[in-house]
Amino acid sequence: MIEIEYNKEEIREKYKELFEHSLDLIYVHNLNGNILDASDLTLITLGMEREDIPNISFIDLLDKENLNKAKDVTKEIRSTGKQSAQIADN
């Protein structure tokens, strides 16, 4: 499997307004579930600091049902290179 390198500075600059002003929780993760970057609002909501990012995995943040959905989507992305449908929250 090819691991894509995440360039935080490049992504932050490109999506600066989104990261700084969105009312949505925004985070970037790899296919192993490791959080690579997060908006300030995301960190505040999770009660975490920016320094915690290397230790955060979305796997630890999800309940069992949503974790299973995330695993299915991850398998799909790994096998096809894309996600076919958005997962709706119940």
The mean pLDDT of 3-21, rounded to a whole number, is 82
Over 60: is that where the pLDDT of 2 sits? Answer: no
pLDDT tier, 87 (very low <50, low <70, confident <90, very high otherwise): low
Q: How far apart are CA 40 and CA 46, in angstroms?
A: 10
In a domain, 87, yes or no: no
* The model scores a pTM over 0.85: no
In a domain, 19, yes or no: yes
> 46 is in which domain, residue-wise?
8-80
The mean pLDDT of 3-10, rounded to a whole number, is 78
Q: How far apart are CA 35 and CA 52, in angstroms?
A: 10
Over 50: is that where the pLDDT of 90 sits? Answer: no
Domain count, the chain: 1
The helix/strand/coil state of 31 is coil
Q: Are 41 and 33 in contact (CB under 8 A)?
A: no
Q: Dihedral angle at the C-alpha atoms of 74, 78, 81, 82, nearest 10 degrees?
A: -10
pLDDT digits (tens, 9 = 90+) for 37-76: 999 999 999 899 999 998 988 888 888 888 888 888 888 8
In a domain, 88, yes or no: no
